[in-house]
Structure 1
Amino acid sequence: NMAPGATLRLVRMRQDLLAAMRVDPDLAPIDQDFAHLFASWFNRGFLTMRRIDWNAPAAILEKLMEYESVHQMQGWPDLKRRLADNDRRLYAFFHPATGDEPLIFVEVALTQGMPDAIGPILTAPDAREPAAADTAVFYSINNSLPGLKGVSFGNFLIKQVVAQLSADLPELRCYVTLSPVPGFAAWLATQDDAAELRGALAGGWDDDAVDALRPQVLAWGARYIAQAKARGGLPADPVARFHLGNGACAHRLNWPADLAPSALKSAHGLMINYLYELDRIEDRHEAFVRDGEVALGAQIAEALKA
């Protein structure tokens, strides 16, 4: 990895290895070596966080558009809107050995109040003045390089972004995500008692149907977030594992919140707010890691009773 560009080439090599392992699981010991080395090479002490704005080098801006996988960007005007200084922020982690290659980045919207749908964030017109915001919304978090799978950057990035925002914008009072629930539809398909709801969701819905279906969707969504488990007893949902492991609370479910075809397919349009409360992050992180405790907001706790 001492040769010019070699670290990034090794990351690309592991990406190929992970693909090959799906055909030949016997390659797993090689991957263990890669994972061990990368955990050392990409130690938090080597990472630098940068705020990216419209004046960043074009090579970085192009990579942000390429690597955005949560809410894909529709060209340069869309990217420019997401970097607007008045009501948006974007932060990324970089490593000296990989140059201008962002390892992970988070997109932030500055809003009044906690959002319950992604559409208004993605389609909001340009803000002509600095937002009178009280809430920072993390609405898209992207790991850029598949070859760094399993190397955790997100927990450091979230905490550092919160610290930076609280210093720059002391009027902010709430730090929250608007996150997808990517495993919800697949899990719901395994629940025998949910057959009627699945049929109703598959048939589409109008405003009247939304009002009738929402309590059921929220109740099943609450069970999925709070009770569905993967191997090892961790939450089944990968986004839930990420934010709960970082010390957030599963605060509020929102439906319908994302009408993009991919979101309808993976989660029936369900989204969730994970709440980061600065004075409780460490305690919740420790309780989750030590005991598997899932911190729940009042709305989700109440939906579990339905």
Structure 2
Amino acid sequence: MPNYQVNATQLTPNTTVHIKGKLTYSRLAKLVEGTDLARVDQQRIQNGMQPIGRPHTSVNLAEAEVQFLDPANPTKEEIFVQERRFASAKHPEHGQSYSMDNKSTNLPIVAVQNAAGEAEQIVLEGDLAAGLEVTLVLRVYKPKGFPNCGLSLDLVLLHEQPRYYNAGVNTGELAARGIIFATPPVKVSGADAAAAAPAAAYAAAGLPANTDAATGLPAPAPAVAAVVATPPVMQPAPVAAAPVAQPQETLEQEVARLRAESAARNAASAASGGESAFGSPWEAPKEPAAQGIAYSG
């Protein structure tokens, strides 16, 4: 057990400590929780460490050095952090290392230092790559019901442009050779590449996306089942009733019918006190009486 000069009960809440180094590992873009938390706690138990047991963020530094506000008069908080650096048996090349598990439910603020030396806050696109030079700003806080003070990770200041961890590409090594990705590279499976390649090649060549890979010609459109229209049932047109043939009148029958019609009209006219509008077609028209002087003889 190390013999520390300063213990956690001696710290003053709301004081801060700055420690600078190079990232060897970080989980700062999102909380370690759920299945990730269970896996991390299991690894800690296997390594003889206490499980964290709650969502958190983590960061590890190599070449870690506390940035004393006044090197001639370090604060108790600065000494507390300085004493808790350690030498990694697995990676002695890291020099003095420092590890921090931040149990706050809030993600730490991440900022990048611009050319003017000012800090500009950024939102991480993923976990940061190893090798980045950063400064951690730690704040002392006093938990309720506990005698010891704790440390909270409030800020991660990047002294260079962010690079992101990628399991398949060593972006740190590439950056050292001047190759810096604008966005983190993402692995693509062979199946996805095979599916995407023909469409991309045809698009580049100005061919339709449904081009047949074997022939280079547009693939036939899917067959559409022909719909046979059922002809409408034709209803028979209504047949006009044939006119009933009237029997041919004889001359005597026709004369008798006309005489009867005339007599009926005259009777109706007499009953109404006037003359029939129609005279008998069989009577000669009556001429009007002559007007003027009549001569005899």
The answer, yes or no, to whether TM exceeds 0.5 is no
After TM superposition, the score normalised by the length of structure 1 is: 0.21
The structure richer in strand per residue is: 2
Larger of the two Rg values belongs to structure: 2
The structure richer in helix per residue is: 1
